[in-house]
Each structure stands twice: as structure tokens, then as C-alpha cells.
Structure 1
Amino acid sequence: MINRPHVRLNGLHQAAVALGSAVGALLDPRRADLIAALGETTGKPAFERVLERMKRSPEGRAVLLERPRVISEKVGHAWDLPPNTFGAAYASFMGSRNFSPDDRPPVRFLDTEELAYVAMRAREVHDFWHTLFGLPTNLIGESALKVIEFEQMLLPMCLMSVVGGTARFSEKQRSLFYQQYFPWALRAGMKSTDLMCIYYEMNFDEDLEEVRRRWGIIPAPQLQK
């Protein structure tokens, strides 16, 4: 069971939270709590579809049964793995941005424990996807990853984040994104396996390039500074 501050919403309140979160997230894309609330209040059907896919997958069922968490207590050993491994690449990515896996906001607005876990899992594997696809956390990198997340989960929040993110691009960033990263993200999202059905933590000690090949990952073009 996830330790979470559950808030039950009726239809009107859910719409109000979704609208308020959307406006707030557009004004300040750094507000992870608002982005999380937007994802939960608009994404229930998408999370239900992901849950059903996970139940049909042997590895996905293992994830649902064991409910691994991407928190420091559980993934701290990644910092001690050899540099060629997926786990070490993840640790390097997290260290480069000075971000703790414990800093993700809790799930508040989904009623069942299963759906709440799927939403939390989607939130927590986000940094695994950054690592696998080789995307930084700048505006272009986050927008490109949201395209992949939308293809993988069909979450409305991902599409809204792409629209909101690209609206903040400079002309040069917009050209770079739509000419290189948007078509790459469409291709990468379609080619990769079902990324929500992977037990990532069981593959930390494997070679990064090997797991990329196994999961059909196409690394991103190198972002221009």
C-alpha cells in the first residue's frame, strides 16, 4: 500500500482542480505538484489502460505484485555499480541535476490503490526514461520526453505539457524541436517496448547499451547548447 494523502473529489471539484493545475503549471512549469495534480485529475482512463496492460504482461504483473518504489532507500545501490551499467547511468543522471528520487509529490486524487500505484510508478520511472533516451531536463529535453510519454500512456497531461512547453520556446528552440526532436520522439515512442511493463530495478547491473537494444530504445540526438 502507498502511504499517500488521498483526497476524494466529485466531478465538479475534479474539473476545478484540473483547470487550476493546468493554469498554474503553464505559468510555472517547475511546479511538480501542479503537474502531478493535472496528470491525476485528467488521466484516470489512461492509467486504467496502463494497469490492464501491466496485468497482461508477466513483468508488469511482477511490478504490480511487488510494487517497487524508486526512492533513495531502494535505489541507492545504483551509485556503486560499474560505469557501463544502466544503474550507474541513472545515478550519474540524478547526480548531474542534484535531484533526489524522494522529491516526487505523492498521488492524491486517484481512488484505488492499484491506480494510485500505477500513477506513482509512471511518475517515478520518468528519470529512468531520461537516462535511457539520453535526454536532459532542459525545456527541449522535457518536451521531447513528454511526447514519448504521451505515446506510451496517452495521458492528456503529457500533450498539454508539450503544448505549454513549446509555447515557451525561443524561435531557435522551436525550430530545433520540431525539425529534430519531435520526429525523433514520435519514432522512439513507437519503436520502444511497453515501458510501463518493465521492472527497471532488476536490470540496474546490466550494460546500458544492452538494455537499450532489448527494449528498443533509440537514444536522442545530441542536444545543442
Structure 2
Amino acid sequence: MIGGGRIQLNGWQQAAVAVGSAVGALLDPRRADLIAALGETTGKHAFERVVERMKKSPEGRALLLERPRVISAQVRHAWDLPANTFGAAYASFMGSRNFSPDDRPPVRFMETEELAYVAMRAREVHDFWHTLFGLPTNLIGESALKVIEFEQMYLPMCLMSVVGGTARFTEKQRKSFFQHYFPWAVRAGLQSTDLMCVYYEKHFHEDLEDVRRKWGITPAPAAPNQDVP
């Protein structure tokens, strides 16, 4: 079982949860539970397409069969790997921000166990993608990653998050985002391999730059004359 008990909703209920979650997330972007609910209630067809792609990929099939979780008990070995590895970079990203892999909200609104797992997987690999693309966790970095996630999965929630995020930008942030980060994110999302079909945990021991090249990942640019935390 992925997270807590799943809730079956009819069409009207799904719409109500989606609208309520969208409004709530716009008012308080820190509400990860609302963002998760929005992704689930609007993303069924997108997740179904992801499942079909995973079934055509060797690593994707392994993920669907084994259903690994990105939780402390299963990824703690990353903290012991050499500094040049992908796993160590992920551990550094998490540790420097005092993040825990166990903090993701459970899936509640997916109809099947398979869809629930893929929705949870998409949620849990978010920090892997931050690490691989070299994106910060500020508003600009999160918005740029949502562009990549949309290019990779076509989740409506990602597009809505970009719209909501950019609406909260200052004028300076908006200029930086659309001049530097948005064009890069569109290219990066299209040029990368199918990132939902990657069994990241099996590549922790590999060199970070090697896996970036293997998966077609171009790290984020630094905006000129701007420090991005």
C-alpha cells in the first residue's frame, strides 16, 4: 500500500477536490498535501500514459515490479558514497536543506495500486531531479522544475504550479525566470531521457556527471548578475 488509505471519488467529487486544492495551494504554496491532491485529481490520464511508457522500458518495468520507495530506510546508503557520485550529491542536497525523504504526503485519490505507486514515485523522485538539474528550492527553482516535470509527464498540476508560481514573482524574478530559466527548462525537459523510467537508486554509485550525460541532462544555468540560493 502506498501511504494512507485511498479514497474513491466520483467525477463531481474529483472536480470539487481539484478546485479546492488549487485555490488552497494558490493561497498557501507550502501546503504540499493540497498540491499532491491537485496532482492526483487532475492527473489520472497523465499517470496512465507514464505507466504505459514504463512498461516499455527495462528499468521502468523493474520499477513497476519491485516498487522501490524513496524513503530513509531504502536510500540512507547514499550518505556513505564518495563525493563525486550521484548518491552523494543527492545526500548533500537533502542534508544541506534538512530535508527528509520521508516527508512526502501519501497518495489518496488514485484508483489502482499501480497508478498510486506511479503517482508516489513521481512525488518521491522530485528531489533526485533537483539534484540532477542543479536547481535550488526557491520559487524560481521550483517553478523551473515544474516546467521540466510538465514536459516529462504532462501533468496539469505542473502547468498550474508554473502559472501560480510566476504570479508571485517580483519583477526582477519574473525577468530572470523567463529570460534564463524558462527557455532552458523547456529544452531540458524535452532533451532528457524519459526520467520516470529511471531506477535512480541503482545509479547512486555512479559519477554525477556521467549519469547526467547518460540521461541527457543539462544542469540549470546561473542567471547573470544574480545570486540564486
Q: Which runs of 5+ in 1 are unaligned?
A: none
CA distance in 1, matches of 2:8, 2:99: 30
CA distance in 2, matches of 1:11, 1:188: 35
CA contact (8 A) 2:3 2:107 kept: no
Q: Which amino acid aligns with 1:190?
A: L
Counterpart for residue 193 of structure 2: 193
C-alpha displacement at 1:2, in angstroms? Answer: 2.4
CA distance in 1, matches of 2:15, 2:158: 17
The one-character-per-residue Cα deviations of 1:170-213 (angstroms, maximum 9, x if unpaired) are 00000000000000001100110000000000000000000000
CA distance in 2, matches of 1:2, 1:189: 27
The one-character-per-residue Cα deviations of 1:4-25 (angstroms, maximum 9, x if unpaired) are 3211111111100000000000
Q: Which amino acid aligns with 1:43?
A: G
Given the alignment of the two structures, is residue 72 of structure 1 paired with residue 72 of structure 2, yes or no? yes
The one-character-per-residue Cα deviations of 1:13-43 (angstroms, maximum 9, x if unpaired) are 1100000000000011111000000000000
CA contact (8 A) 2:17 2:41 kept: yes
Counterpart for residue 213 of structure 2: 213
The one-character-per-residue Cα deviations of 1:69-103 (angstroms, maximum 9, x if unpaired) are 00000000101100000000000000111110000
The one-character-per-residue Cα deviations of 1:148-176 (angstroms, maximum 9, x if unpaired) are 00000000000000000000000000000
Instruction: Please state whether the residue corresponding to 1:166 is helix, strand or coil.
Output: helix
CA distance in 2, matches of 1:67, 1:47: 15
CA contact (8 A) 2:47 2:118 kept: yes
Counterpart for residue 90 of structure 1: 90
- Alignment size in residue pairs: 225
CA contact (8 A) 2:69 2:121 kept: yes
Q: Which amino acid aligns with 1:132?
A: L
Counterpart for residue 155 of structure 1: 155
CA distance in 2, matches of 1:133, 1:38: 24
Q: Which runs of 5+ in 2 are unaligned?
A: none
Counterpart for residue 46 of structure 1: 46
CA contact (8 A) 2:15 2:41 kept: yes
C-alpha displacement at 1:3, in angstroms? Answer: 4.2
Q: Which amino acid aligns with 1:94?
A: M
Match runs of 1:14-163 below 5 Å: 14-163=14-163
Q: Which amino acid aligns with 1:75?
A: V
Superposition CA RMSD, Å? 0.7
Query: Per the alignment, do residues 105 and 3 of structure 1 end up closer, same or farther by CA in structure 2, a change over 3 Å counting?
Result: closer
TM-score with structure 1 setting the length: 0.99
Match runs of 1:169-184 below 5 Å: 169-184=169-184
CA distance in 1, matches of 2:142, 2:84: 24
CA distance in 1, matches of 2:2, 2:145: 26
CA distance in 1, matches of 2:3, 2:103: 14
Given the alignment of the two structures, is residue 12 of structure 1 paired with residue 16 of structure 2, yes or no? no
Counterpart for residue 167 of structure 1: 167
